[in-house]
Amino acid sequence: MRSTLKFLIKALVGVGFFYILFTFIKTNELAKLIHQVDYFYLILSIILTWIMVMASCMKWKVILDMKGKKLSFWSLMKVYCIGYFFSNILPSTIGGDVVRSYYVGNEIKNHAHSAVAIFIERFSGILLLFCLAIVMPLFWPGLYQHSTIIIPAVASAFFLVLFSWLIVAKTPMKVIGRLRSLVFRFLRKLTEQKAFSWLAKPFGFIEKVWLIFEEKLGKIKTELADAAATLKSDRKCLVKLVLLTILFYILTWLNVYFAYKTFSVDVSLLLVCALTPSIMFAAHLPVTILGNIGYFESIFVYYFLLAGIPAEQSLAMGLLLRLKILLVGIVGFFIYMLYKKQKKIGENIITGKESSH
């Protein structure tokens, strides 16, 4: 019931974002943009989407190949598209990464390495995103005047320091546990006084949130250790991983730029490069369902408004990005229906009888 309620709330939030967007913009201007589509850039944009998927899949393959048993690129492409279907089209609490990990874990007979490979693929991209969210706004004058640019940059710097400490420190979780114990012991003593007794419930809630954060941090620490051990085994693969991660973000910038050009919007590529990392950082918040539908488009509209790009133009661009994601997901659906292990994934993962490995 809790899971269903959470899903419904996120769905309503997504509808709410779209409602606000369509009451905020001029629909006649949006209609004009849609009718003046440049088909050259549209086709180029669609092709670029598949190049991005292939680059991500190649990065995934490089990591998986570190353990020796290699899978073909095209077999991984099929599973990657199925992951898109689960993440962006199927109304389910099962994420695409879980599905990818399950399928590939079965193929290589090693679910642990399959899970580690997914983590490395995602985490390496996030680390570079943190760096870009700090550096790239510097290339467009005035962006750092906005709190919505400063907050992602400061948060990125914090997480970079935190993850570095988790990797280097010998017993970081013990230190965090002791710090938490000292802080909340002091706060509990404080609430024993009549003047501060009303703070007991808020502090109790904060402690529960902190314990959840600490638990997740512990899991990340374990995953980081496994990832580091995997990457140390093959330095050449590590170089390939870095280069493919950089390539992915270059393609991401071009993806946004070409989507704007599809509607004949004159936008600077440098502006796209400066804003997109902050947008991607904000878009990682799991606010709505189906790949953050509604929220994802709203984030693009808001951030490009900071640079004077009309809302209608950014919404048209964002809707095109959404349609391209759905296109990959639809392809993933047909692959899923024909996939030889479709029955097993349906019976085990979707019903919750199989762990995420």
Position 347 scores a pLDDT of 44
Query: CA-to-CA distance for 87 and 96, rounded, in angstroms?
Result: 5
Position 289 scores a pLDDT of 87
Average pLDDT of span 65-77 = 85
Higher pLDDT, 156 or 198: 156
Q: What is the residue-averaged pLDDT of the chain?
A: 89
Can you spell out the DSSP letters for 290-346?
A: TTTTTHHHHHHHHHHHTTT--HHHHHHHHHHHHHHHHHHHHHHHHHHHH-TTHHHHH
Residue 280's Cβ-count burial label (10 Å; 0-12, 13-18, 19+) is buried
pTM: 0.88
Position 1 scores a pLDDT of 64
Position 27 scores a pLDDT of 85
Position 81 scores a pLDDT of 95
Residue 68: which pLDDT band, with cuts at 50, 70 and 90? low
Residue 340: which pLDDT band, with cuts at 50, 70 and 90? low
Average pLDDT of span 187-209 = 88
Query: CA-to-CA distance for 312 and 295, rounded, in angstroms?
Result: 15
Which of 294, 264, 297 has its CA nearest to residue 279?
A: 297
Q: Is the pLDDT of residue 7 over 70?
A: yes
Q: Is the pLDDT of residue 192 over 70?
A: yes
Q: Is the pLDDT of residue 343 over 70?
A: no
Cβ partners under 8 Å of residue 332, min gap 6:
80, 81, 82, 83, 84, 85, 86, 89
Please answer whether residues 105 and 348 qualify as being in contact, where contact means their C-beta atoms are separated by less than 8 angstroms.
no
